[in-house]
Amino acid sequence: LGIDLTPVLHSLGIPSNQQGRHRVLETFQSPWVETSRSEVEPRFFVPE
Amino acid sequence: TDQEKMSLVFTEWVKLLQRVPDDDISVVVFIRQMIEKGVLSSTEGMVKFTNAALELSVSSFKESDPTSDVFIATDAFSKLIVKLLILQEFTDMTRADYFKLMISVITMVISEDHGRMREGFNERPYFRLISSLLCEWECVSGHNFIKMGDQQCRSELVEFNFDFYNIIASFLHSTQPIAFPGFSFAWITLISHRMFLPKMLRLPEKAGWAKLVLLFTDLLKFMAQYTKKNDVPDAVSVVYKGALRIFLAVANDAPGFLVENHYELLNNLPHVYMQLRNIILSAIPKNLVVPNPYDPNLVIDDVIGCHDAPTVFYDPVQDLHALKKPVDNYLRIPSTSLQRAITTGIFKPEYQKDNGIGYDTVSVDTKLINAIVFHVGIEAALEKHKTTATAIFNTKSSYYTLLASLLNDGNSEVRFHVVQAIANQLRYPNAHTHWFNYVLKNFFFAEDWGSNKAEIQEIIVRTLLERIVTNKPHCWGAVVTFADLLKAPGASITTFQFIKDVPEVELIIKHL
Amino acid sequence: QYSAFQNPLFSPGLNYWLETKRTLIQPHDTMPSEMASQLESSLLNCPDSLDADTPSLHQDVLSMPHPTSIFFPNETIRLVSNDPIDISRNHPKHNDIYSGTSLARIMSKFDLDTLFFIFYHYQGSYEQFLSARELTIRGWQFNKVNRCWFYKEVEKLPPGMEQSEEISWRYFDYQKSWLARRCGAEFVYREEEFERI
């Protein structure tokens, strides 16, 4: 039957409504919550 | 020995990087000297150096105080690999072959470590190597390698970029969990890495999609192989949880990937993972607004999206094999002999174990059935586009009768898998969802099944119900189709015997 | 028979690699206990977000000399917060991949002084990038020529005047006074001088 995905989506930073939806794979810390205890540096670009 | 010499050179490199920033001139000079002195000028030298550097990185990790920075050598090696890719002139060997060689050596080192150490194998330094490699590459490749001063080099690197990710993807494919169980969790973390997955999803012209589907298939195959109905090892449950989060993230960021690849992904997804299946099938293209499927006044024919056929990345016609000709010929000019060829051609030579809900074995080629059903749907939508809707929304059309004959001539098992394959096409509002909704509705209410009617209706209800009693998400098409069955005039399905036989189901349906 | 297998360079790695193909071709029906222990060992060693973080081998000193306390922390902030994003800032341009991160959120609360400090003293870093992003969100623009941040102030004038608004420019003087100063009347805005962020 699966599970209620609301907390899972929340842990991913995906809001349950459609507002404020942004990409999450670029700041994805780890496939598991337990190993996602610190943020990771995403890609960025600094001009010369 | 050569090994010792290589280790010395690498150690000097590690020390250098700790003292100066990586764009310091001494870094360039160091690499130039490495090449000039012949450390890396032969294939043999490259292999030996890669071996030495990796073994040093791994042993340095193992020997470091866990509270200190354990990845200094590993990170230095990643940086060296990237520097070698951007600073060298590639005359004897292409950049791609050079990189492939290094990755091959890395693969062999992992293979030996994993094979020798068994449960003592530690995946972390290898994970870090690839992770840091991806980070370093991202840093140099920003804005199409704009930081490269030399224009020739820059354009070469822009061309090489796809090869870079492709080679990493091939490495991951060969180190998949079934082959390297001791690397599984690192592997899952790598395929979903922020410097890998979004990149692969967005390479121009979907260049990364084929390999990504392959990698996701590797993951799903592993889960399928070791998920038993009564006993799922704890570690496999954890794998599932990770896979779930990854697919949810993909559905959020790049639903188009799931939309266009649902067929291949589902071919390897165990039936028991109903929610994961729904997540893949519920993906909706970005910016598409979908009407509420629970709206009792909804009429699918009026939904605008149903005019358009969904984009398909992988053409299922490739999986029809011997049945391609009979199917395509039947669609043009139906005949009983072609029909028979198809309905008898869908069986496997022998039983195969399966972990279905309610069955343990399978004697039909489910992949072939999925291919046939999907192919017929694609062709039907094309036909509608070329001619009119009435050509396919017609129970006499060859598209419809092909599927109907599969049900008619088949046993329960065939019927079940055909209906499942049809239900897999009931997704967001599109031409496939629309047509298969028509097909399933007509199957349900048809009067010419004879004594098979009750069974066919039961299979249809079961197939739709199992997709909508789960926790969300639910596929728009599945909800709408089920609602259509409930709304239809005539006897309510709650009066059907197979519903009344199972009070829990009766209750659910009454509630719906 | 293949020459690669005779080559001592690839031994024994290549043989071990070949062994791994065995389970791919003939997967086990149920997980053998050895595989199960390997899988569990992998679970125990599972890399975490710190393992996946961007490497930084050489710790940069401050890009510009500036007196700092010896207690100034050297480590980058790596918090996690799943608080909902402030929707009032939900302009499409600002709803980018950084908007959900703790660091970007913290910077949205920093005052201008702090943002300029980070920008000029941590050059080439992710933190500099985020401070530039935040300054851009607040309407500042970066001049590539003199390397100063500029702000355009638009003042609505009372009705009845010749013009409906008065425009004045400010820039942040990072070299001398460490203050925002008004630009003189001779200042001319040239779009090509400014970084498109």
Using H for helix, E for strand and C for coil, what is the string for B97-134? Answer: HHHHHHHHHHHHHHHHHHHHHHHHCCCHHHHHHHHHHH
For an interface test with A, which of C93, C101, C197 has the most A Cβ atoms less than 10 Å from its Cβ? C101
C62 has a chain B CB within 8 A of its CB = no
Q: Chain C partners of A16 at a C-beta cutoff of 8 Å?
A: none
- From the number of C-beta atoms within 10 Å of its C-beta (0-12, 13-18, 19+), residue C91 rates as exposed
User: What residues contact A14, with CB distance under 8 A and at least 6 apart?
Assistant: A21, A24, B248, B249, B252
- At residue C196, the pLDDT reads 87
**Does C52 or B353 have the greater pLDDT score?**
C52
What is d(CA B371, CA B315) in angstroms, rounded to the nearest whole number?
A: 9
Q: What does the alpha-carbon distance between residue B187 and residue B221 come to, in Å, rounded to a whole number?
A: 14
- Cα C159 from chain centroid (whole Å): 44
The alpha carbon of residue A4 is apart from the nearest alpha carbon of chain C, in Å, by 18
| CB interface of A with C, residues 15-44, below 8 Å | 15, 19-24, 26-27, 29-30, 32, 35-42, 44
- The distance of A1 to chain C (nearest Cα, Å) reads 24
- Any chain C CB within 8 A of the CB of B233? yes
pLDDT of A16 > 60? The answer is yes
What pLDDT is recorded for position B488? 84
Contact C51 B128 (CB under 8 A): yes
Among C52, C84, C126, the residue with its CB nearest the CB of A44 is: C126
Q: What is the pLDDT of residue C89?
A: 57
Residue C87 has pLDDT above 60, yes or no: no
Kindly report, as residue ranges, where domains of CATH 1.25.40.790 are found in chain B.
2-204
Residue written as tokens 């996602």?
A36
The predicted model gives B171-196 an average pLDDT of 98
CB contact C35 to B (< 8 Å): yes
Burial B486-505 (b: 16+ CB within 10 A, else e): eeeeeeebeebebbeeeeeb
Give which of B97, B86, B82 is closest to B130, Cα–Cα: B82
| Region B452-471 average pLDDT | 95
Q: Supply B376's token pair.
A: 């017929």
Reading the block at residue B466, the tokens are 């199992």
pLDDT of residue A2: 93
Q: How far apart are CA B454 and CA A37, in angstroms?
A: 54
Beta strands in C58-115 (DSSP E): none
- In which residue ranges of chain B is CATH 1.25.40.800 found? 300-511
Dig out the tokens for C97 from the structure.
């991949």
- Write down the pLDDT at residue A33: 96
Q: How far is A14 from chain B (nearest CA, A)?
A: 8
Alpha carbons B477 and B471: distance in angstroms, whole number: 16
What's the Rg (C-alpha) of chain A? Answer: 14
| CB contact residues (below 8 A), chain C span 15-34, against chain A | none
Burial letters B402-416, b for 16+ CB under 10 A, else e:
bbbbbbbebeebbbb
CA–CA distance, C87 with B176 (Å, rounded to integer): 41
Share of chain B above pLDDT 70, in %: 100
Put simply, whether B186 touches C (Cβ < 8 Å) is: yes
Dist CA B258 CA B2 (whole Å):
49
CB contact B83 to C (< 8 Å): no
Contact B112 C9 (CB under 8 A): no
Q: What is the pLDDT of residue C91?
A: 57
Question: Has residue B267 got a pLDDT over 90?
Answer: yes
User: What is the SS3 assignment for C170?
Assistant: strand
Q: pLDDT band at residue B99, thresholds of 50, 70 and 90?
A: very high
Which chains have 3+ CB pairs within 8 A of C? A, B
- Which one of A11, A19, A35 has the shortest CB-CB distance to C48? A35
Q: Which chains touch A (3 or more CB pairs under 8 A)?
A: B, C
Task: Enter the tokens of residue C157.
Answer: 């004038």
Least Cα separation, residue B235 to chain C (angstroms): 6
C-alpha–C-alpha distance, residues B258 and B253, integer Å: 10
Tens digits of residue pLDDT in C61-79 = 666 666 665 555 556 666 6
- Answer for the pair B126, B112: CB distance below 8 angstroms, yes or no: no
Q: Is residue B455 classed exposed, middle or buried when 0-12, 13-18 and 19+ CB atoms within 10 A define those classes?
A: middle
Segment B58-92, tens digit of pLDDT: 999 999 998 889 999 999 999 999 999 999 889 88
- pTM of the model as a whole: 0.95
Distance from C-alpha of C85 to C-alpha of C87, rounded to nearest angstrom: 6
pLDDT tens per residue, range C89-115: 555 556 789 998 999 999 999 999 999
Give the torsion sign (CA, C180, C185, C186, C187): positive
Rounded Cα distance between B44 and C10, Å, is: 10
Kindly state the average pLDDT of the residues B457-477: 96
Q: Virtual CA dihedral for B134, B136, B141, B147, nearest 10 degrees?
A: 180
Say if the Cβ atoms of C52 and A29 lie within 8 Å: yes
Contact C20 B115 (CB under 8 A): yes
Enumerate residues 185 to 224 of chain B having a beta carbon within 8 A of any beta carbon in chain A: 188-189, 192-195, 197-198, 201
Residues 6+ apart with CB under 8 A from B14: B72, B73, B76
Calculate the alpha carbon distances from C125 to A46, B22, C109, C112 in Å: 8, 13, 19, 18
Cis peptide bond N-terminal to C12, omega within 30: yes
Phi, psi of C144 (to 5 degrees): -70, -25
State residue B334 phi and psi, 5-degree precision.
-65, 145
Backbone region of residue B144 per phi and psi (left: phi > 0; alpha: psi in -120 to 50; beta: other values): left
CA distance B373 to chain A (A): 26
The reply to whether B238 touches chain A by the CB within 8 Å rule is yes
Is the confidence at residue B115, as pLDDT, over 90?
yes
> Which has more pLDDT, B40 or B479?
B479
The reported pLDDT for the residue numbered A36 is 94
CATH architecture of B300-511: Alpha Horseshoe (1.25)
Token pair 């608080």 in the structure block, residue? C83
Between CA B194 and CA B249 the distance in angstroms is 11
| Residues of A at the B interface, defined by Cβ within 8 angstroms | 1-5, 8-9, 11-12, 14, 21, 23-28, 30-33, 35, 40-43, 45, 48
The DSSP bridge partners found for residue B347 are B364
Instruction: Please count the CA atoms within 13 angstroms of the CA of C62 that sit on its side-chain side.
Output: 15
String of DSSP letters for B328-387: HHHHHS--HHHHHHHHHTTEEEEEEEEEETTEEEEEE-HHHHHHHHHHHHHHHHHHHHHS
Distance in Å, alpha carbon of B468 to nearest chain A alpha carbon: 9
Nearest CA in chain A to C77: A39
Provide the token pair at B177.
């969990």
Kindly state the average pLDDT of the residues B476-480. 98
- Residue C100: what pLDDT? 87
Which structure tokens are listed for B99? 């990189």
Question: Rounded to whole angstroms, what are the CA distances from B491 to B43, B389, B483, B496, B498?
Answer: 77, 29, 14, 8, 14
CA distances from B122 to B115, B188, C54 (A): 12, 15, 20
Bridge partners (DSSP) listed for residue C26: none
Domain B2-204 has CATH 1.25.40.790: yes
Q: Is B254 on the interface with C (CB under 8 A)?
A: no
Give A19 or B309, the one with higher predicted confidence.
Answer: B309
Pair B142, C124: CB distance under 8 Å: no
Going by pLDDT thresholds of 50, 70 and 90, the confidence category of residue B386 is very high
Lowest average pLDDT, out of A18-32, B315-329, B414-428, C140-154, goes to A18-32
| Average per-residue pLDDT for chain B | 95
Helix, strand, or coil here: B190? helix
Tokens, residue B72:
């200094």
Tokens of B488: 């239809």
B508 Cβ under 8 Å from any chain A Cβ: no
Q: Please count the CA atoms within 13 angstroms of the CA of C165 that sit on its side-chain side.
A: 7
Nearest to residue C98, comparing CAs of A45, B206, B186? Answer: A45
Residue B103 confidence (pLDDT) above 80: yes
Q: Cβ distance B426 to B481 under 8 Å?
A: yes
Query: Residue C185: its pLDDT value, please?
Result: 83
Q: A8 — contact with chain C (CB < 8 Å)?
A: no
Chains that touch B (3 or more CB pairs under 8 A): A, C
Predicted pLDDT of residue B155: 95
CB contact under 8 A, A11 and B197: no
Interface of B with C in 133-152 (CB under 8 A): 135-136
* C34 in contact with B, Cβ within 8 Å: yes
Q: Look at C41 and B72 and tell me if their CB atoms are within 8 Å.
A: no
The alpha-carbon gap from B441 to the nearest alpha carbon of chain A, in Å, equals 25
Residue B442, SS3? Answer: helix
pLDDT of B56 strictly over 60: yes
Helix/strand/coil percent split, chain B, to 5: 70, 5, 25
Q: What is the mean pLDDT of residues B133-151?
A: 95
**pLDDT for residue C83:** 60
What confidence tier does A18 reach under pLDDT thresholds 50, 70, 90? low
Confidence at residue A21, expressed as pLDDT on a 0 to 100 scale: 74
Half-sphere exposure of B447 (CA within 13 A, CB side): 0
Q: B280-315: per-residue pLDDT in tens?
A: 999 999 989 899 999 989 999 999 999 999 999 999
Of A24, A42, A45, the CB nearest to B252: A24
Give me the phi and psi of B231, to 5 degrees please. Answer: -150, 105
